[in-house]
């Protein structure tokens, strides 16, 4: 094959290279041409550069999309077709690279998609009203979990079963109050709120008076706690118990029951007799250091979050970003941190207590009374909306618990909420008064998840005419949307609702949230699955 320049064949071939569809013979022909013809080579470079810029300068589009959004009419046929497409369309994440690098920095494989999906399935199918949990994971440092277990989440409930920690440290608090710090590699079987088995690994146990009688077994030892702090180490046929405070009762093999006092330790090898030695704090130094490390790790996540925000805040489609950190002009305002949209400068805090957020240093606002709310006014009409929030729900007291709601029932506005049965919902008001559509997920917030920081998001895609609800980065439900754009927000509230000219006050109209918020984002476009996952990854509390 010989290629001439300029020629339509050359044009097609360069396009084929850009699209990745050129054959080997074609590429060879192009190689010959480019090596022998400097004009062709320069022309090739210009075309490639143009293609590459389009692919790498997202600013080119986001500004454009914004301008176009206002005059673009929805194609309703295409929309219906789109809405029946399966979840996770083959969209290659635009910001995949960034995610990859952030994941790298966090020393973990971020796209543990499979594992997350598993975790998610577990919590979604869990019955909302009952719980078989025996403990809670409260803190981790650099924790890597074994593949055969679903990675547990910090703040999440732990059900009866085996925890496999490959490396790092994790703190488990049993419902009895006993507190175990585990160092990986370790395995811990959670049996009940007062009992656990450690086949191998090292751990430090603190047992407050109410949990007295807590039992811990290793292959060689059976320890009954009598109100103490003690360390356990179990490795290949050898078990040790070191008592640092108080006293434990101990059974080993056929040996008689004996008690062990503060400062004492016992080592058992294989089936041998227990050997008494002095307790060594050195052996458990890393576990004692835990608190310190856990603080450092928190600070690191918090910094990563701030860092990721600096980039996010440049997104032109980001209308509002309340990080609850940027002080507004006064102490009762929150500054909008979105850099490219200054039409919304501040949000106004009414009531609300200031509390700790996802990290110790992070500020949050708690909503408790019917007066508590954060008010915003967002002008404009939009073809799509994405809402995202980090919420710690304390209770689902009301029939409708407001996350973010436009005042009243105006055409094109939305109400985003959690229903008292753990359903995520959004109500979209149609162009004609009185017309609306409720799009509700299955029940996904269960009692186990109350008190945990969770990421909630919803995408309202006017073009594809569809709504997707997300919990912790994963889609939980998808619905066709009856009404097309434009959508509006107008005057709205976080954590509450202003019924305005609605009907007479009725219980359903009191919608204040019981819980805390520490981040809120509003975008004027439909974020992809991958982008929502990234928002979650950016803000999730633990590594």
**What is the enclosing helix (H) or strand (E) of 354?**
strand 353-356
Q: 251: which 2 tokens?
A: 């059974």
102 interacts with other proteins by CB under 8 A: yes
Reported residue count of the chain is 543
Using CB under 8 A as the binding rule, the residues of this chain from 140 to 159 that contact other proteins are 141-142
Closest CA to 382 of 312, 456, 315, 318: 318
Which window, 67-75, 265-273, 438-446, 482-490, contacts other proteins (CB under 8 A)? 67-75
Could you tell me the smallest distance in angstroms from the CB atom of residue 111 to other proteins? 11
- Applying CB under 8 A, the site for other proteins has a residue count of 82
Residue 81 or residue 132: which is nearer to other proteins going by CB? 81
312 interacts with other proteins by CB under 8 A: no
Using CB under 8 A as the binding rule, the residues of this chain from 167 to 226 that contact other proteins are 167-169
Per CB under 8 A, the list member of 70, 87, 101, 353 interacting with other proteins is 101
96 interacts with other proteins by CB under 8 A: yes
DSSP conformation class of 72: P
Residue 61 or residue 436: which is nearer to other proteins going by CB? 61
Residue 68 or residue 506: which is nearer to other proteins going by CB? 68
291 interacts with other proteins by CB under 8 A: no
Which window, 64-72, 325-333, 367-375, 434-442, contacts other proteins (CB under 8 A)? 64-72
- Give me the DSSP letters along 362-390: -EEEEE-STT-EEEEEEEEEESEEEEEEE
- Give me the DSSP letters along 42-83: HHHHHHHHHHHHHHH-THHHHHHHHHHHTTPPP-HHHHHHHH
Q: Are 514 and 405 a contacting pair, CB within 8 Å?
A: no
Could you tell me the smallest distance in angstroms from the CB atom of residue 34 to other proteins? 6
Q: 167: which 2 tokens?
A: 């490396």
Instruction: Give the span between the Cα atoms of 454 and 448, in whole angstroms.
Output: 12
36 interacts with other proteins by CB under 8 A: no
Instruction: Give the span between the Cα atoms of 89 and 510, in whole angstroms.
Output: 38
63 interacts with other proteins by CB under 8 A: yes
15 interacts with other proteins by CB under 8 A: yes
Per CB under 8 A, the list member of 48, 117, 255, 370 interacting with other proteins is 48
Could you tell me the smallest distance in angstroms from the CB atom of residue 232 to other proteins? 18
Using CB under 8 A as the binding rule, the residues of this chain from 117 to 136 that contact other proteins are none
Could you tell me the smallest distance in angstroms from the CB atom of residue 441 to other proteins? 25
Instruction: Give the span between the Cα atoms of 358 and 538, in whole angstroms.
Output: 12
92 interacts with other proteins by CB under 8 A: yes
Could you tell me the smallest distance in angstroms from the CB atom of residue 314 to other proteins? 12
Q: Are 230 and 243 a contacting pair, CB within 8 Å?
A: yes
Q: Are 140 and 296 a contacting pair, CB within 8 Å?
A: no
Closest CA to 476 of 508, 514, 449, 511: 449
Closest CA to 482 of 428, 405, 523, 416: 428
Could you tell me the smallest distance in angstroms from the CB atom of residue 291 to other proteins? 12
Which window, 281-289, 403-411, 430-438, 475-483, contacts other proteins (CB under 8 A)? 281-289
Residue written as token pair 């807590």? 214
């Amino acid at each position: 094959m010989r290629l001439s320049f300029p020629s339509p064949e050359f044009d097609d071939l360069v396009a084929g290279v850009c699209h990745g569809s050129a054959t080997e013979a074609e590429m060879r022909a192009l190689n010959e041409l480019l090596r022998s013809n400097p004009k062709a080579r320069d022309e090739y470079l210009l075309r490639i550069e143009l293609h590459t810029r389009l692919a790498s300068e997202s600013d080119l589009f986001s500004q454009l999309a914004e301008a176009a959004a206002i005059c673009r009419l929805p194609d309703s046929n295409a929309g219906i077709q789109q809405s029946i497409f399966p979840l996770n369309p083959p969209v290659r994440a635009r910001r995949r690279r960034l995610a990859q690098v952030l994941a790298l920095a966090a020393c973990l494989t971020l796209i543990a998609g499979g594992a997350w999906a598993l975790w998610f399935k577990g919590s979604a199918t869990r019955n909302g009203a009952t719980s078989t949990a025996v403990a809670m994971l409260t803190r981790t440092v650099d924790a890597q979990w074994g593949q055969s277990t679903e990675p547990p989440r910090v703040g999440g409930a732990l059900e009866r079963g085996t925890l496999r920690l490959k490396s790092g440290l994790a703190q488990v608090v049993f419902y009895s109050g006993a507190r175990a710090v585990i160092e990986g590699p370790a395995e811990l079987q959670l049996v009940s709120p007062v009992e656990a088995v450690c086949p191998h690994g090292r751990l430090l146990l603190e047992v407050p008076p109410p949990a007295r009688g807590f039992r811990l077994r290793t292959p060689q030892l059976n320890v009954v706690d009598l109100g103490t702090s003690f360390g356990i180490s179990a490795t290949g046929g050898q078990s040790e118990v070191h008592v640092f405070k108080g006293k434990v009762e101990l059974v080993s093999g056929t040996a008689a029951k004996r008690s062990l006092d503060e400062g004492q330790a016992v080592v058992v090898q294989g089936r041998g007799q227990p050997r008494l030695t002095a307790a060594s704090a050195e052996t458990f130094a890393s576990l004692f250091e835990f608190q310190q490390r856990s603080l450092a790790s928190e600070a690191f996540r918090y910094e990563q979050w701030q860092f990721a925000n600096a980039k996010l805040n440049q997104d032109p489609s980001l209308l509002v970003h309340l990080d609850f950190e940027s002080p507004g002009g006064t102490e009762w305002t929150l500054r909008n941190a979105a850099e490219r949209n200054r039409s919304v400068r501040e949000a106004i805090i009414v009531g609300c207590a200031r509390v700790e957020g996802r990290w110790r240093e992070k500020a949050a606002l708690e909503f408790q009374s019917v007066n508590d709310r954060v008010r915003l006014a967002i002008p404009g009409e939009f073809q799509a909306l994405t809402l995202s929030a980090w919420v710690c729900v304390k209770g689902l007291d009301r029939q409708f618990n407001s996350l973010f709601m436009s005042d009243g029932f105006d055409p094109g506005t939305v109400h985003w909420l959690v229903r008292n049965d753990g359903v995520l919902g959004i109500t979209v008001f149609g162009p004609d008064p009185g017309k609306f559509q409720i799009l509700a997920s299955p029940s996904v917030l269960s009692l186990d998840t109350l008190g945990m920081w969770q990421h909630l998001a919803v995408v309202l895609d006017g073009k594809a005419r569809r709504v997707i609800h997300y919990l912790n980065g994963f889609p939980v439900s998808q619905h066709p949307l009856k009404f097309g754009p434009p959508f509006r927000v107008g005057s709205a509230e976080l954590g509450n609702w202003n019924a305005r000219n609605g009907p007479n006050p009725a219980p359903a109209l009191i919608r204040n949230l019981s819980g805390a918020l520490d981040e809120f984002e509003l975008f004027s476009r439909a974020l992809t699955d991958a982008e929502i996952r990234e928002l979650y990854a950016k803000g999730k509390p633990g590594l």
